[in-house]
Amino acid sequence: MTYMQSDRVGVFDATSNPDKVGPFDIMYLELSISSILSGNVGVSEAKNDVFTISQNYPNPFNGITTIPVNLKKNADVNISVVNVVGQTVYTHTYAKSAAGINNIPVDLTHLNSGVYFYTVEAEGFKVTNRMIVE
């Protein structure tokens, strides 16, 4: 089994690491066929018990949109927006956000019309959703 050792899911950049394939080490783990066939190997999924998000509104929008984030406890919240080719066009951290519903306004007046994806992250959990700029 081969995997990339990274705490940043989905991030890969070989341009700044000419001596490596990417910025993170590639790890190799040997698993016996008998362990796989007997079901002794599996994937553990962590449940996001920190927050939930709702669809941004308005959507579609032009200029400013609001992203509802429902925190189950106080946390720093990072919101990033990427375009369809994966370029980050916005990122901001909202430090010490309070538990409960936080309607976070995001100013995206600099963006061209199109489809974008926003990711909300808190305490290592990430949720991504789609938004449309008119």
Q: Are 119 and 126 in contact (CB under 8 A)?
A: yes
pLDDT digits (tens, 9 = 90+) for 67-97: 999 999 999 999 999 999 889 999 999 999 9
pLDDT: which is higher, 39 or 134: 134
Structure tokens at 60: 């579609």
Structure tokens at 115: 């489809």
Q: Which of 67, 45, 48 is nearest to 125 (CA)?
A: 48
Structure tokens at 107: 């100013």
d(CA 88, CA 83): 7
pLDDT digits (tens, 9 = 90+) for 15-32: 554 555 555 555 556 667
For range 96-124, the mean pLDDT: 96
Type of residue found at 118: Y
Q: Say what the pLDDT of residue 17 is.
A: 47
Type of residue found at 133: V
Print burial letters for 58-81: b (CB count within 10 Å at least 16), e (below 16): eeebeeebbbebebeeebebebbb
Q: What percentage of the chain exceeds 70 in pLDDT?
A: 69
> CATH topology for 51-133?
Immunoglobulin-like (2.60.40)
Prior bond to 60 cis, omega within 30? yes
Domain ranges of the chain: 1-42, 51-133
